[in-house]
Amino acid sequence: MRVKDFMSKPVMVVREDTTLEEIARMMLDNNIGCVPVVDTTGKISGVITESDFAAKDKGLPFSTFRAPQLLGRWMSQEGVERIYDAARSMTAKEIMNRRVATVTEDQSAQDVVELMLKFDVNRIPVVREGVPVGMVSRHDLLRLMVREMRGEESK
């Protein structure tokens, strides 16, 4: 089975200059966990996932100590609201993950699973000549399993 047979489409994208507030609103309104970021030519330049809006445990430079970081800023206990408030005007380009695993419509489900494992991601953009045309999530793989099981039952 090819990616085009089970990918979610159409895919919602954001431009590099879209603010984080707009992105968060779009993700919440459309119940999506990831948006590809596109450059001025419409080609994928990064992705933003819902986990990018959450705190991460990061190592301090030149130290073995780790501390929480949110949207690229070190957190103090009372600083979460202040960081979110300041981040509303940040752009996609400032926090997007530039290391993006992608697949094409003609690749296999096996290729998707291998990339998800290799890059430890839950969603992979589907591109045609670098332009996002769909998305494959672990949820899509669940649907693929049910579809395959139904196909077996009908034989």
- Domain span holding position 107: 3-153
Q: What is the pLDDT of residues 31-59, one digit of tens each?
A: 999 999 999 999 999 999 988 877 555 55
Tokens 């979460």 found at: 80
pTM of the full predicted structure? 0.80
Cis ω before 132 (30° cut-off from 0): no
Q: What is the CATH number of the domain that holds 77?
A: 3.10.580.10
- The domain total for the chain is 1
Q: What single string gives the DSSP state of each residue in 44-56?
A: EEEEEEGGGGS-E
pLDDT in tens, 18-33: 999 999 999 999 999 9
Angle 32-35-39 from CA coordinates, rounded to 5°: 160
Q: Mapping DSSP to helix (H, G, I), strand (E, B) and coil, where does residue 137 land?
A: strand
